[in-house]
Amino acid sequence: MIKSTSLAAAAVCAMTWLSASAANSSYTAVNGGSKLEFTGIQAGAEFKGTFHAYTAAVDFDPEALERARIEVQIQLASVDTQDKDRDQTIRVRDIFDTAHFPTARYVTRSIVKSGSGYTAIGALTLRGITKDVPISLQFVPSGQSAKLVGTAQLKRLDFGVGQGDWKSTEWIADPVKISFALVLNPK
């Protein structure tokens, strides 16, 4: 009798843990504590830009990577490079063209374990152009919350970011580094 009671209690504990684990695999980013940034090179010097308006939905369970998914929507007009003139220029038709393409979107297709972290492959849509962009990331759970930290690299001209005079790489380099640190709360 004692054994079956202990076994039943263990089963209830395991089911509770599994339910809590499943419930804690869906998150949304907390904009106040999160960062979504890029680094470009202008006239040979690095500059950083931050996006202040975005949403991120993350489904991530390290034990069920086949169901993992990250979706980020970025309001491109929220760009902030700490230089008002540069910010205005970035928003114009020849660069982000926020009037016609107000958002960028990234959606993963797969996430796999790699080294001490994970690699995500997903599609970035920017200025109406969609291309695959791999991301290296770390997922760090903390109680009910988590943190998703990662980096990526892309070429701005692959997405049409740079038309007319801005298509030249003489003053603005083609490679762009992306970095993010998303504080995640359960949905």
For the chain, which domains are there?
26-186 (2.40.128.110)
CB neighbours of residue 68 within 10 Å: 19
Phi, psi of 9 (to 5 degrees): -65, -40
Rounded to an integer, what distance in angstroms lies between the CA atom of residue 25 and that of residue 31? 19
Q: pLDDT, tens digit, for every residue of 114-170?
A: 998 999 999 999 999 999 999 999 999 999 999 999 999 999 999 999 999 999 999
User: What percent of the chain lies above the pLDDT cut of 70?
Assistant: 87
